[in-house]
Amino acid sequence: MAAAAKDTGAEATGQARVTIRQVAVHAGVSEAAVSYALNNRPGVSEQTRARVLAAARDLGWAPNIAARSLGTAKANAVGLVLVRPPRVMIVDSWFTQMLSGVEAELNRNDIALVLHLVDRIEDTIDVYRKWWAGRHVDGVILTDLRKDDPRLDALVEIGLPAAVIGGKPGLDGCSTVDADVAGTARAIVGYLRALGHRTIARVAGTEELFHTGQRDAAYLDALDHAGLDRDRYRVVYTNYSAVDGMRAMRELMSGAEPPTAVVFDNDVMAAASLKVAHEMGLSVPEDVSVVAWDDSDLCQITVPAITAVQQTPALQAELAARALLATINGGEISHVTLQPGTLTARQSTRPLRAGRTS
């Protein structure tokens, strides 16, 4: 190892250290691919690996001896770092379903899950470094991607195999398993359009999350697709909690032109909105229809029961864990999109009544 480093000569001769970015540009591949290839980790094809190694040789890149000398003994463990307060941990069942799916796949392979909560997303990166340096985990699963997420570049730099529950175009350093956000939004808007609704509002989740942005775009696309006027569509962002969902519902229904249908980014807020309707003397669905993005027991025990789109977080998480294990075992990065969610119509939606202006 030491001899190999000396051969490249970059540090020994006092030259400026060659960066991964330079190697990536020279090889015409992503930084992630360079990182995997140079760290001798799976996740890139043999052709890419050869191209990267040639570029690294050309530029005189010096490997990081300390990192490589740790060897390749597997930890048989996968890591998951959540940022506190994780939106998902108290307010809805997404977290438990996700965890159940990850564990289903890990258990089949006798792999443990190491869980860590941190206060700031930046702290995640320190945990990743420590885990990888000590080979406490063989890879990590990411969730709740931010619009501008510092973990992604860090993973590339660290060279830690990763899979994302969710997706983001251009992520070539991690496997991704994404929901069909566009298809789900079209299913919801198309159904409401068929019932005669023209003024639709949305109670959205946390604005800084990447998937909230995905849904923002998906709903606009769905409105266009259904021939509805974007100007009549309103969005209120929340933190996904029942209390915040109620605040948003009050705000929407107190406007000069209240919507005839409100779609919610989770089941808890949709359920909580029924209480606001009750409190404001409005009937669901006579005065306003309600749809939840996630289906759950909760949507079935409310009166009225809530029309909802079934998502499959357990499956999504299971497939992400499977993709990660494949990468760890020498396979390549993969990108999967699930089928769109299935809409189950219940009592919270109805055709817009005749005579009512929408």
Q: What are phi and psi of 118, to 5 degrees?
A: -130, 165
Whole-number minimum distance, CB 116 to a copy of itself, in Å?
6
Of the candidates 245, 265, 350, the residue with the CA atom closest to the CA atom of residue 305: 350
Extract the tokens encoding 338: 């699930």
Whole-number minimum distance, CB 351 to a copy of itself, in Å?
23
Is residue 282 involved in binding a copy of itself (CB under 8 A)? no
Q: SS3 for 235?
A: strand
Toward a copy of itself, which CB reaches closer, 36 or 264?
264
Q: Figure out which of the listed residues 4, 12, 65, 115 binds a copy of itself, where binding follows CB under 8 A.
A: 115
Of the candidates 150, 172, 147, 170, the residue with the CA atom closest to the CA atom of residue 162: 172
Is residue 25 involved in binding a copy of itself (CB under 8 A)? no
- In sign, the C-alpha dihedral spanning 258, 263, 267, 268 is negative
DSSP helix, strand, coil percent of the chain (3-state; round to 5): 45, 15, 40
Task: Calculate the dihedral angle through the C-alpha atoms of 63, 66, 71, 75, rounding to the nearest 10 degrees.
Answer: -120
Toward a copy of itself, which CB reaches closer, 160 or 272?
272
Toward a copy of itself, which CB reaches closer, 35 or 97?
97
Is residue 266 involved in binding a copy of itself (CB under 8 A)? no
Q: Are strands 342-344 and 307-310 parallel, antiparallel or unpaired?
A: antiparallel
Binding span for a copy of itself by CB under 8 A among 163-171, 181-189, 300-308, 316-324 = 300-308
Toward a copy of itself, which CB reaches closer, 19 or 347?
347
Toward a copy of itself, which CB reaches closer, 77 or 236?
77
Is there a contact between 151 and 129 (Cβ–Cβ < 8 Å)? no
> Pattern of binders to a copy of itself over 230-259, x per CB under 8 A?
-----------xxx--x-------------
Of the candidates 306, 281, 280, 284, the residue with the CA atom closest to the CA atom of residue 295: 306
Is there a contact between 68 and 1 (Cβ–Cβ < 8 Å)? yes
Rounded CA gap, 286 and 349, in Å?
Answer: 8
Toward a copy of itself, which CB reaches closer, 299 or 333?
299
> Pattern of binders to a copy of itself over 71-100, x per CB under 8 A?
------x------x---xxxx-x-xxx-xx
Rounded CA gap, 336 and 166, in Å?
Answer: 9
Q: Figure out which of the listed residues 164, 298, 308, 343 binds a copy of itself, where binding follows CB under 8 A.
A: 298
**DSSP code per residue over 45-81:** -HHHHHHHHHHHHHHT----HHHHTT------EEEEE
Place of tokens 């190892």: 1
The gap from C-alpha 247 to its chain's centroid, in whole angstroms, comes to 26
Q: Figure out which of the listed residues 300, 329, 342, 358 binds a copy of itself, where binding follows CB under 8 A.
A: 300
Toward a copy of itself, which CB reaches closer, 284 or 319?
284
Is residue 334 involved in binding a copy of itself (CB under 8 A)? no
Q: Figure out which of the listed residues 118, 121, 154, 280 binds a copy of itself, where binding follows CB under 8 A.
A: 118
- By the criterion CB under 8 A, which residues form the site for a copy of itself? 77, 84, 88-91, 93, 95-97, 99-100, 103-104, 107, 112-119, 136, 241-243, 246, 268, 271-272, 274-275, 278, 297-298, 300-303
